[in-house]
Amino acid sequence: MDAIAEDIELSKATLYLYFENKISLFFAIVIEGMQILKSTLKNAAKKGSTGLDRILSIFHAYFDYIETNSDYYRLNLSSRAPRFAKLLQNQEESEPMVKNADTYIQLTKDLFGIILKAVNKGVKDKTIRKDLDPVQTVMFLGTAIEDMAYISPEYKMLLDMRGIPTEQYLDHTINILLDGIASKKK
C-alpha cells in the first residue's frame, strides 16, 4: 500500500479511506476492467442479425478489448489464480471484500450471459447447431477464446517465421470454432 500511495501521490491514510487493503484495491481494479469488458461485449452482441454473427462480433470485440486494455486483461487473468478464488468463496471476509466478491461473481455471470444469449439466438435462428448444449457451448467458446488470446512465444515465433500475421491466425482460428458450432444448412 505504501508503494501504491506513493505512485498515485496520496498518503497511505487517504488510500485506506477508499480501500481496506491491497486485495480490495486489486479487485476494485479488476472489477473496473470487467465492467469495461461487459460494456464492450454487450455492444458487440448487438451487431449482427444472427446468433452466429453476434458470436463473431463478440470474439472480435474481445480481442480489441485485450489490445486496448491489456493491463486490465492481465489483472483479470491474475484474479483467477487459486489464492483469489479462495478469497472470493470465503464470505467471512471483511465487508469490502464480500462486496467485491459479489460484484466480481455477478460480472462473471453477466459476461457468460452475453455469450449465452447469442448462442441461444443462434439455436433459435438455426445458425448454431441445436444438438449442442448452450451452457457447455459457452464454456467451450470462453475457454477457446482465452487460449486464442494468449499466443505462446513459440507459436508467435512460428507465425512470424511463416509470415502469418496474428490477425490472420486469429481469424483462421475463429472460423474453425464457428464452423464447429454452426448449423450445416442443406
- C-alpha to C-alpha distance for 177 and 53, rounded to whole angstroms: 13
In a domain? residue 1: no
In a domain? residue 186: no
Task: Work out how many domains the chain is built from and give that number.
Answer: 1
- C-alpha to C-alpha distance for 22 and 50, rounded to whole angstroms: 43
- β-partners of residue 128 are 182
In a domain? residue 82: yes
- Please state the pTM of the whole predicted model: 0.83
Instruction: Specify the CATH number for the domain of residue 93.
Output: 1.10.357.10
Domain ranges, residue 89: 22-181
In a domain? residue 148: yes
In a domain? residue 159: yes
**18-32, 89-103, 168-182: segment of lowest average pLDDT:** 89-103
The average pLDDT across 66-72 equals 91
Contact 19, 25 (CB under 8 A): yes
In a domain? residue 12: no
How sure is the predictor about 95, in pLDDT bands with cuts at 50, 70 and 90? low
How sure is the predictor about 8, in pLDDT bands with cuts at 50, 70 and 90? low
The C-alpha cell of 37 is what? 469488458
